[in-house]
């Protein structure tokens, strides 16, 4: 390339940079005076509280969801989110009444938005492959209406490399604009937890991954309007890695606790005593062994983290192995049950089992990826009759003592508070299999088996 051409290119780049900075400065000004119009795609347990918080902060927010009935409920000021979410229903009623949040099932109104967050599901399938159908559909529909100079922020959890390989190309193709010229792009993974949606959104730090440092700073200016915790600038791939790694970290640590529990059973230790004393050692924090790992993110995010590396043939061993350990725990619960039944001269086929807890987490109604579902399916495959109790899941609520009648065994899968007050004598079930250390001591006159403890009856 000759000097003249190089100069022309350099001038063009400088001009483009100047335009980009001007557009981003304009965006930051509109954030400061709250004239920026925001859009939120996906009004589920993440998107809805996000939309409410930005509306409550004084922005006009357009929420988009493909479920028309959900849109109708939201515009009526009624939260479609199941379970107890402190403050959400009141906040939603307030912002819909004030008219600062409006929901719709069409993308057209997003054409006037300066910033749009995307909060749609990003599951993995049975083969642990990310399934981005919802994300791709949302991006295509958004690209078609995307305003010049708009900032698009993906809040869904995605595999490292997805911003570059999927999000950017789809938006460029469907909008006809180029990233960092016609629109801007960032990734700010959510860190919410059912039951604490608003608290986590306000109080938990966020990684603001921008295509450029200036975009990361603009994202910080946005989230500073609602987040009181650290807002850490980064690039997109770092943001993708942080969210998936933080959950893989938790999964691996739970698997470690579960494997130590299996060792304790084999050699006659008590994993709860072992854990207590291990954690007295500086820098140790052994997590809780148990009946399995459920939920919307811990079972999924490790697979998102390793997906691209595995595609490239990188030997990834620990994280998949941890997943296997945790997925095996419901089946280990059945092994404990079978050992107790043998003592009573019985087999799983034909016995009646009461399962305590169907949610994936204590004092929650959330049943996504619940270990109890795996346990119940296997018990029924083996020919057991299964009765399920869960005080938080509507279809399994009931009088636990009545449900216990005629049962040969009871299996504790979740540490719902009310289970700690159970009167095992009154419950009258001869075999107790404890998956969550709900019993500090083995109930008297019962055949008791527990994860991490070798019980000699
Ligand atoms: N579990 C164990 N042993 C433990 C901890 C959890 O067996 O020591 C089991 C639970 O019973 C449950 C599953 O793991 O079945 C997940 O429990 P969780 O406490 O990790 O709860 P989640 O799934 O709601 O995790 C979310 C995550 N937050 C986000 O993805 C934004 C996770 O990163 C958080 O650490 C967690 O909330 C939290 O502690 O807030």
What fold does the segment set 235-457 form as a domain?
A: Rossmann fold (3.40.50)
∠ CA 121-66-186, rounded to 5°? 50
- The structure tokens listed for 68 are 């028309």
DSSP string, 193-247: -TT-HHHHHHHS-EEEEESSHHHHHHHHHHHTTT--S-EEEEEHHHHHHHHHHHH
Sign of the CA dihedral running 220, 222, 227, 228: positive
Answer yes or no: is the C-beta of 204 below 6 A from any ligand 1 atom: no
Q: From ligand 1's centre to the CA of 254, what distance in Å?
A: 9
**Residue 273 known to be catalytic:** no
Q: For residue 243, indicate whether it is catalytic.
A: yes
- How far does the centroid of ligand 1 lie from the alpha carbon of residue 303, in Å? 16
What distance in angstroms lies between residue 389's CA and the mean position of ligand 1's atoms? Answer: 22
Taking CA atoms only, the protein residue closest to ligand 1 atom 19 is 361
Residue 457 has what pLDDT? 56
Please identify which of the residues 177, 243, 300, 407 carries the catalytic annotation. Answer: 243
Catalytic residue selected from 52, 264, 297, 439:
297
Confidence (pLDDT) at 139: 98
Closest C-alpha among 257, 227, 234, 272 to residue 322: 257
Please state, in angstroms and rounded to a whole number, the distance separating the CA atoms of residues 6 and 410. 77
Cα–Cα distance measured from residue 23 to residue 217, given in angstroms and rounded to the nearest whole number: 13
What are the tokens at 217?
Answer: 């700073």
Tell me which of 193, 242, 288 to substitute to probe ligand 1's pocket, judged by most ligand atoms within 8 Å of the beta carbon: 193
Cβ burial of 32 (10 Å; 0-12, 13-18, 19+) is: exposed
pLDDT of residue 34: 96
Which residues of the chain are in CATH 3.40.50.720 domains? 3-229, 235-457
Give the residue from 205, 198, 199, 210 showing the smallest Cα distance to 115: 210
Distance 149 CA to ligand 1 centre (A): 38
Cβ 432 under 6 angstroms from ligand 1:
no
Give the residues across from 453 on adjacent strands: 270, 450
Paired with 210 in beta bridges are 186, 235
| pLDDT tens track for 277-331 | 999 999 999 999 999 999 989 999 999 999 999 999 999 999 999 999 999 999 9
Query: Domain 3-229: what homologous superfamily?
Result: NAD(P)-binding Rossmann-like Domain (3.40.50.720)
- One digit per residue, the tens of pLDDT, for the chain of length 457 reads 788 888 887 777 777 677 777 778 889 999 999 999 999 999 999 999 999 999 999 999 999 999 999 999 999 999 998 778 999 999 999 999 999 999 999 999 999 999 999 999 999 999 999 999 999 999 999 999 999 999 999 999 999 999 999 999 999 999 999 999 999 999 999 998 888 999 999 999 999 999 999 999 999 999 999 999 999 999 999 999 999 999 999 999 999 999 999 999 999 999 999 999 999 999 999 999 999 999 989 999 999 999 999 999 999 999 999 999 999 999 999 999 999 999 999 999 999 999 999 999 999 889 999 999 999 999 999 999 999 999 999 999 999 999 999 999 999 999 999 999 999 999 999 999 999 999 988 899 999 999 999 876 5
Query: What's the whole-model pTM score?
Result: 0.94
- Could you write out the DSSP letters of every residue in 130-146? B--HHHHHHHHHHHHHP
Residue found under tokens 């529990």: 261
Closest of 437, 428, 383 to residue 402, by C-alpha: 428
Asked if 104 contacts 62 with a C-beta cutoff of 8 angstroms, the reply is: yes
**Does ligand 1 lie within 6 Å of residue 261's CB atom?**
no
DSSP 319-385: HHHHHHHHHTHHHHHHHHHHHHHHHTT--STT-EEEEE--SSSTT----TT-HHHHHHHHHHHTT-E
**H helix or E strand, kind and range, residue 32:** helix 3-32
Evaluate: CB of 153 within 6 angstroms of ligand 1.
no
**Does the CB atom of residue 193 touch ligand 1 within 6 A?**
yes
Residue 277: CB atoms within 10 Å: 10
Candidates 265, 280, 302; CA nearest to 433 is 265
pLDDT in tens, 408-435: 999 999 999 999 999 999 999 999 999 9
Q: Using CA positions, which residue lies closest to atom 13 of ligand 1?
A: 293
What's the burial of 243, exposed, middle or buried (CB within 10 Å: 0-12/13-18/19+)? buried
Tokens encoding 324: 């296997």
Query: What spacing in Å lies between the alpha carbon of 156 and ligand 1's midpoint?
Result: 17
Quick check: CB of 254 below 6 Å from ligand 1? yes
DSSP string for residues in 95-153: HHHHTSEEEES-SGGGGG-SEEEE-----B-TTS-B--HHHHHHHHHHHHHPPTTEEEE
Residue 1 to residue 213: CA distance in whole angstroms: 30
Nearest CA to ligand 1 atom 37: 193
């Amino acid at each position: 390339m000759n000097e003249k051409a190089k100069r022309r290119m350099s001038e063009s780049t400088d001009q483009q940079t100047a335009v980009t900075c001007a557009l981003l400065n304009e965006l930051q000004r509109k954030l400061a005076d709250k004239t920026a119009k925001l859009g939120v795609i996906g009004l589920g347990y993440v998107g809805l509280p996000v939309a409410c918080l930005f509306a409550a902060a004084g922005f006009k927010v357009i929420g988009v969801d493909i479920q028309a009935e959900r849109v109708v409920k939201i515009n009526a000021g009624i939260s479609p989110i199941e379970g107890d979410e402190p403050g959400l229903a009141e906040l939603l009623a307030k912002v819909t009444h004030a008219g600062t949040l409006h929901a719709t099932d069409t993308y057209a109104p997003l054409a006037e938005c300066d910033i749009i967050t995307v909060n749609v599901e990003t599951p993995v399938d049975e083969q642990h492959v990310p399934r981005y159908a919802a994300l791709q559909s949302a991006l295509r529909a958004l690209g078609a209406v995307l305003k010049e100079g708009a900032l698009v922020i993906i809040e869904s959890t995605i595999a490292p490399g997805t911003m570059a390989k999927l999000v950017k190309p789809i938006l460029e193709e469907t909008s006809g604009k180029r990233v960092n010229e016609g629109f801007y792009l960032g990734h700010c993974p959510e860190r919410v937890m059912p039951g604490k949606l608003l608290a986590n959104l306000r109080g938990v730090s966020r990684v603001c991954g921008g295509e450029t440092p200036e975009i990361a700073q603009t994202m910080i200016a946005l989230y500073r309007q609602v987040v009181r915790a650290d807002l850490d600038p980064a690039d997109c791939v770092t943001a993708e890695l942080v969210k998936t790694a933080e959950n893989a970290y938790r999964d691996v640590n739970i698997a470690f606790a579960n494997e130590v529990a299996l060792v304790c059973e084999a050699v006659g230790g008590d994993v709860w005593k072992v854990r207590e004393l291990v954690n007295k050692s500086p820098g140790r924090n052994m997590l809780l062994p148990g009946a399995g790992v459920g939920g919307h993110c811990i079972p999924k995010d490790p697979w998102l983290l390793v997906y691209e590396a595995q595609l490239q043939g990188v030997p990834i061993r620990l994280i998949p192995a941890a997943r296997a350990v945790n997925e095996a725990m419901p089946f280990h619960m059945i092994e404990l049950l079978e050992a107790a039944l043998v003592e009573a001269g019985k087999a799983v086929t034909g016995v009646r089992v009461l399962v305590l807890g169907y949610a994936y987490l204590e004092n929650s109604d959330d049943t996504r990826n619940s270990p109890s579902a795996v346990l119940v399916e296997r018990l029924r495959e083996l020919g057991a009759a299964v009765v399920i109790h869960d005080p938080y899941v509507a279809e399994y609520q009931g009088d636990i003592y009545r449900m216990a009648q005629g049962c040969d065994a009871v299996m504790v899968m979740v540490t719902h508070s009310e289970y700690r007050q159970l009167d095992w004598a009154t419950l009258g079930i001869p075999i107790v299999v404890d998956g969550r250390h709900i019993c500090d001591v083995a109930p008297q006159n019962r055949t008791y088996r527990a994860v991490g403890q070798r019980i000699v009856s």
